[in-house]
Structures are given as structure tokens and as C-alpha cells.
Amino acid sequence: MKMDGAYEVRQSRILTGLTLALYSALPMTAVVIGLQDLSERYMFFIIGLGFEATMLALMRGRVGRAVRQELLFAVDEQGVYLGPDEYGRPAMREPWSQIDFIVHFKGSIWKTSTRPNPNRNVGIARGGRIITSRATGGWRFSVRRAAAAADRFGGGKPVLRGPYFDQVPREWFHTLTLPPAWLATHAAPGGVSGTKR
């Protein structure tokens, strides 16, 4: 249940449905072509069905989260909540006493050794390090709403735009060191420059 003034992001049913429809368009077209004449075009039907089944299996978790409207991110009186993500990082909630500021930044998560996956990320910083973060794939992070909730519940803890990170770890227990020059720039109370988009 959302508290008054809290900022929450939940898995969108509409966006998930549109994504599912988009990815299903080509496989279902092949299935329809195959069904028009199974004796001649049965390969279209089999290939289309195979791709659709694979796509549904890959999106099963996301569809389930959308049906439940699972909580992905929250800033509330308990602290900051980061939900589970596609990389297997578990849900975490950090209390305000363990948070210096909330940070949003661009970075690349390496799914394989040769191809990075660029993402917008949101995380929690403490002691000059981003202690945990999540990619905002499939949802939009509102700096204004997060800052308002952090101001209300976190005693004015800022929401800052962080530097670009070339390699964001997939494991929840790895941290990112914030550059000393960046920390010095944002050391002013309130982090006024960081709350801008």
C-alpha cells in the first residue's frame, strides 16, 4: 500500500502487454501463414510456434510481475527499495540511516564478454560508493518525485546525477566507487546541481 507522499514504481501491465505484442507479431504472422495451408507451409507454422514459445518462456517472469504489478522501486518512510531485476539481483531495502544519497546514472552492464548493454540506472550511495543499483529498463525514474519523497522521508537526502560507468556489475554485492572529484563537487548540502535531469 502506497504511503502518502511516497514514490513507487510498479511493473506496468500496459507496457509489458505492448512489448509482448511487439515481440509476438513476427512469430504469429508465420503461424498464420502456415495455417493457411499446413500441407505446403507447415514449416512456417512450426518455426513461428517455436519462436513464440521461446519468447513466452523468456518473458514469463516479466509477465508474472506485470500481472501482480510488482514493486520495482520505492522511496518511502522505511528507506529506499530496489526490486529484483533481469540479472538475478535480489530485492533490497536500505533504511535511511544507511543512505548518504540516491544516485541515478548511465552505465553499461556486460551480459556477455563482448557486448555491453547500456542502461539508465538508479542506486544507493554510502561512503563514497554506490552500494547497490538497478537498471531502469522498462520503467522511467522520476528525479523530481524521488527527490520530493527523499526530502519528506529521508530528512533532505539528495537525489544526484552520477557519472557514467563503463562497467556496472551484475552481482548485487559489488559496489561502484564514485570519483573523488565528483564527490567533491557534490559535497555541498542538498546537492542542488545533482537534482536536475
pLDDT at 74: 96
Which of 79-117 are b and which e, b meaning 16 or more Cβ less than 10 Å from the residue's Cβ?
bbbbbbbbeebeebebebeebbbbbbbebbbeeeeeeeb
Rounded-to-integer distance, Cα 70 and Cα 9, Å: 9
Which pLDDT does position 193 carry in this prediction? 42
- pTM for the model: 0.71
CA-to-CA distance for 134 and 171, rounded, in angstroms?
10
Residue ranges per domain, the chain? 12-68, 73-195
Map grid coordinates 519462436 to a residue: 51
In this prediction, residue 194 carries a pLDDT of 45
Write a three-state SS string for 129-164. Answer: EEEEEEECCCCCCCHHHHHHHHHHHCCCCCEEECCC
Residue 50 neighbours by CB under 8 Å, 6+ apart? none
pLDDT, position 149: 96
Residue among 16, 46, 53, 18 at smallest CA distance from 30 = 46
Q: What is the mean pLDDT of each run of 10 residues along the chain (197 residues)?
A: 77 66 79 82 84 79 66 93 84 95 91 73 94 86 95 93 90 90 78 44
